[in-house]
Chain A
Amino acid sequence: MTTTLEAPAPSRTTASAPRSTPRRRTRGGALARTGPSKYFAHAGVWLYVILLAAPLYYLLISAFKRNTDIFNQPFSPFTPLTLDNFGLAFSQASLGTALLNSAYITIGAEVLTLALAVPAAFALARAKGSLGQMVERIFALGFLIPGFAALVPTVLLSIAMHLFHTREFLILFLPASAMPLTVILLTQAMRAVPAELEESAVLDGAGPLRVLWSVYVPLAVPTLTVVAILNFLSFWNEYFFSLVIIGPEATLRTAQVALPTLSIANAAQYGVLAAGILITLIPAYLVYAVFAEKMENAVLAGALKG
């Protein structure tokens, strides 16, 4: 196959910059023209940043404190700080096993989701008739089903499949909940693939699978990255179905199910709980950090199109 991809066209924003500007714009210059309102804008932005950062700071600092200090001096960094909470969280909730279980379910569900959604989106993107349109709408209807409403039939299904109290049922079930968004986004991304590229590939002898793999998938990578990250976060943080279907068995439960056992009504250990939450945030943060640039590029590419 000899199909080649053209380099993306230069961004329009560069070309559309006002040519009459005699000197290069600087950020300070731009701000200077906004007048006194810039101070309000800056204050507003900083206030918003503080509002976003405050809960993270609270979580972080609480992970190093005793219960009493968390309540009496919630934001103060000047209380006795301890690392013990992390060790306690790890051992008390068996977080090592729980993190492995979460990773197993998340990766399994992610792979299955993409394995099902990519061909589905490919087919829908190429479909010309009303059947394809109807199927796409059926996927979109999936947004209307609240997860909670699906609990009872899902539990019954897991029992009927003899997969109740197993992690494998979650691997099968979670993709179902992620398919609507994944398929709809990927379908839109694949629709943007120029027909000429596919024609070239077909002329070179590529079948449908090769066209999908060598033409559509590379061009849909930015959107694939977005849905992969969104799905990862959703699967990693899933609590309710994991709790009910997998249950409290320490060797099977996920990190999100293990965490609440650190703090029950009469025996709250908020410092240990905060430490446990931080530990479980690390994998999610790492995944986001690795793929964040691709995700931002994908969003930006969408914003500049047209």
Chain B
Amino acid sequence: MQKRVSIPLAGASAVVLAVSLGACASSQPASDPNQIVVQTNWTASQAQNKPLFAAFEAFTEETGIEVKVLESGDNLNQVYETSLLAGEEADVLLVGLLEKQLDWAINGAVVPVNDYIEEWGIADRIPEDALVDWTDAEDNVRAFPYSGFTWPWWYNTDLLTHAGVESVPTTTDELIDATKKLRAAGIAPVALGGIDWSGQKIFLQFLEMYMSTDEAKQVYAEGGTCDNPEAMKGIELLVELRDAGVFVDGVEGYTADQAQAAYMDGQAAIAPIGSWAYPSASDELAAATVLGGLPVADGAPFDKPLAYRGSTSAGWWISPNGEEKIDAVEQLITYMYGNDVLKGILDEGGVIPVADFGGDTSGVTSPLLAQSLTELPEAVDFPVMPDIYVPADVSNPMYRATSVAFTPGTDAATICQTVDDIYAAAK
């Protein structure tokens, strides 16, 4: 028995195979004006995002425009940029402003919304500083600012009291004193992610302690830490507190998750944690927690402890595909800025909207969120949030500088040099 496979037959088979694969390829349908594809890193499964997804459904019921959601993780940037290359990008993105997104409007990955934000009547409802944050170097408003955050320091007053600390420390001297008492009682003092993104922000909070707003923006954007006396004073303050034992042992290897777990489990008395974690706190812990900030140092230009506040958690970005169905996109975005939707994501989701919707916080059920909205602004000062000023290619490498800074035995000169080296390498 002998069978021969001819070259023409093999070629024909290959063509049939290729055509079959092409035919059964389930590529996405061509752009449908009655469907808006939203790509986001907000996942439907998380409780705090349920009001958003409920709003999508309500929008579809009201307008007949279907909202298809592509849920992406932390790799949204890469997936979006690649799909852009194919012209198959999502119409709208709901994602924060950091790293690669900083240049999206400049390099054409998204459409600047300057005209739309005015025409659609949204600009008047966005605080001026938020609009500044979302505007790039070429005066493009990159996206519609949507949700923000607060990033206070959490103080467990039960543990402080147990250790004999009578009030939440508001100065660095009080913090050092509280640390001694906490350690004597066997309680870890400040837990923070010494090796990741969260620690990097707190490291920069120290850097900013003695600087003016403009000076901080310049140092964040350009580096030159060692040459800036005010920045050096901030680093020396961090070294002083570190050597006084203010941070948990081994903080230079801690991640944000470990630090949060240490606080939530009552092992650490103090931790800087963002508003995204308010829903994670138990009722008991929430009742014992007072939100404050990084205690202020002698000679600093601030009157009160420092906490971060930002408007860059998420914004609505319009892609080139989205611009082709701008009428539908306008309907979606203006719907999402409706007072009912904004109040829903605040009250039920605990997400802090950027837009002014009348200031009604009566429906907020989370005690920490309520405290954050009402008492925190009186208790702290809000310095510059570094995210949008630190260049994208510096941000991640700076995690290493953060870990160096929190490592015992490292002096201020070494720390600032590490930071400056990172800026130099990025240039």
Q: Using a CB–CB distance below 8 Å, which chain A residues touch chain B?
A: 1, 67-68, 70-72, 88, 91-92, 155-156, 158-159, 161-169, 171-172, 205-210, 243-245, 247-252, 260-261, 263-268, 270
Q: Are B86 and A155 in contact (CB under 8 A)?
A: yes
Q: Are A92 and B43 in contact (CB under 8 A)?
A: yes
Rounded to whole Å, the gap between the CB of A25 and the closest CB of chain B is 50
Q: List 28 A-B contacts (CB under 8 A).
A: A1-B1, A68-B261, A71-B258, A71-B265, A88-B45, A91-B45, A155-B85, A159-B86, A163-B21, A163-B27, A167-B26, A168-B24, A168-B25, A206-B1, A210-B1, A210-B2, A244-B79, A245-B82, A247-B82, A247-B83, A248-B70, A248-B76, A249-B70, A260-B75, A263-B73, A267-B43, A267-B46, A267-B276
Q: Are B25 and A162 in contact (CB under 8 A)?
A: yes
Q: Which residues of B contact A205 (CB under 8 A)?
A: 1-2
Q: Which residues of A contact B27 (CB under 8 A)?
A: 162-166
Q: Which residues of A contact B22 (CB under 8 A)?
A: 161-163, 168
Rounded to whole Å, the gap between the CB of B317 and the closest CB of chain A is 16
Q: Is B335 an interface residue (CB 8 A)?
A: no
Q: Name the contact of A264 in the complex, choosing from B26, B73, B88, B265 (C-beta under 8 A).
A: B73
Rounded to whole Å, the gap between the CB of A215 and the closest CB of chain B is 13
| Given A88-B45, A266-B276; A71-B262 close (CB under 8 Å) | yes
Q: Are B257 and A270 in contact (CB under 8 A)?
A: yes
Which residue of chain B has the shortest Cβ distance to A246 in the bound complex? B79
Q: Are B72 and A261 in contact (CB under 8 A)?
A: yes
Q: Are A68 and B264 in contact (CB under 8 A)?
A: yes
CA distance in complex: A264, B71 (Å): 11
Q: Name the contact of A169 in the complex, choosing from B25, B39, B264 (C-beta under 8 A).
A: B25
| Given A72-B261, A155-B82; A260-B74 close (CB under 8 Å) | yes
Q: Are A265 and B1 in contact (CB under 8 A)?
A: no
Q: Are B88 and A164 in contact (CB under 8 A)?
A: yes
User: What string of 1s and 0s marks CB contacts (under 8 Å) between B18-37 and chain A?
Assistant: 00011011111000000000
Q: Which residues of B contact A167 (CB under 8 A)?
A: 25-26
Q: Is B425 an interface residue (CB 8 A)?
A: no
Which residue of chain B has the shortest Cβ distance to A239 in the bound complex? B75
Rounded to whole Å, the gap between the CB of B192 and the closest CB of chain A is 14
Rounded to whole Å, the gap between the CB of B251 and the closest CB of chain A is 14
Q: Name the contact of A243 in the complex, choosing from B3, B4, B41, B78 (C-beta under 8 A).
A: B78
Q: Name the contact of A265 in the complex, choosing from B25, B79, B197 (C-beta under 8 A).
A: B197
Q: Are B70 and A171 in contact (CB under 8 A)?
A: no
Q: Are A252 and B26 in contact (CB under 8 A)?
A: yes
Tell me which of A167, A171, A265, A270 has the highest count of chain B C-beta atoms within 10 A of its own C-beta: A265
Q: Are B2 and A261 in contact (CB under 8 A)?
A: no
Which residue of chain B has the shortest Cβ distance to A73 in the bound complex? B265
Which residue of chain B has the shortest Cβ distance to A66 in the bound complex? B261
Q: Which residues of B contact A68 (CB under 8 A)?
A: 261, 264-265
CA distance in complex: A251, B27 (Å): 11
| Given A165-B88, A248-B72; A209-B24 close (CB under 8 Å) | no
Q: Which residues of A contact B261 (CB under 8 A)?
A: 67-68, 70-72
Q: Name the contact of A261 in the complex, choosing from B71, B83, B256 (C-beta under 8 A).
A: B71
Q: Is B137 an interface residue (CB 8 A)?
A: no
Q: Is B274 an interface residue (CB 8 A)?
A: yes
Q: Are A171 and B21 in contact (CB under 8 A)?
A: yes
Which residue of chain A has the shortest Cβ distance to B48 in the bound complex? A267
Q: Is B5 an interface residue (CB 8 A)?
A: yes
CA distance in complex: A223, B24 (Å): 33
CA distance in complex: A70, B85 (Å): 40
Q: Are B267 and A163 in contact (CB under 8 A)?
A: no
CA distance in complex: A209, B9 (Å): 15
Q: Are B75 and A243 in contact (CB under 8 A)?
A: yes
Which residue of chain A has the shortest Cβ distance to B4 in the bound complex? A207
Q: Name the contact of B1 in the complex, choosing from A70, A71, A207, A243 (C-beta under 8 A).
A: A207
Rounded to whole Å, the gap between the CB of B399 and the closest CB of chain A is 12
CA distance in complex: A1, B272 (Å): 78
Q: Are A168 and B21 in contact (CB under 8 A)?
A: yes
Nearest 9 interchain pairs by C-beta: A207-B2, A71-B261, A92-B45, A166-B25, A260-B73, A164-B86, A159-B86, A248-B72, A266-B276
Q: Which residues of B contact A248 (CB under 8 A)?
A: 39, 70-73, 76, 79
CA distance in complex: A206, B21 (Å): 33
Q: Are B86 and A250 in contact (CB under 8 A)?
A: no
Q: Name the contact of B43 in the complex, choosing from A156, A208, A264 (C-beta under 8 A).
A: A264
- List 12 additional A-B contacts (Cβ < 8 Å) besides A72-B265, A164-B88, A261-B71: A68-B261, A68-B264, A159-B85, A164-B83, A165-B88, A167-B25, A169-B25, A205-B2, A244-B78, A248-B70, A248-B79, A268-B257
Rounded to whole Å, the gap between the CB of B295 and the closest CB of chain A is 25
Rounded to whole Å, the gap between the CB of A160 and the closest CB of chain B is 10
CA distance in complex: A171, B83 (Å): 19
CA distance in complex: A267, B257 (Å): 9
Q: Which residues of B contact A263 (CB under 8 A)?
A: 73
| Given A244-B79, A244-B82; A266-B274 close (CB under 8 Å) | yes
Rounded to whole Å, the gap between the CB of B354 and the closest CB of chain A is 17
Which residue of chain B has the shortest Cβ distance to A159 in the bound complex? B86
Q: Are B28 and A243 in contact (CB under 8 A)?
A: no
CA distance in complex: A268, B43 (Å): 12
Rounded to whole Å, the gap between the CB of A209 and the closest CB of chain B is 5
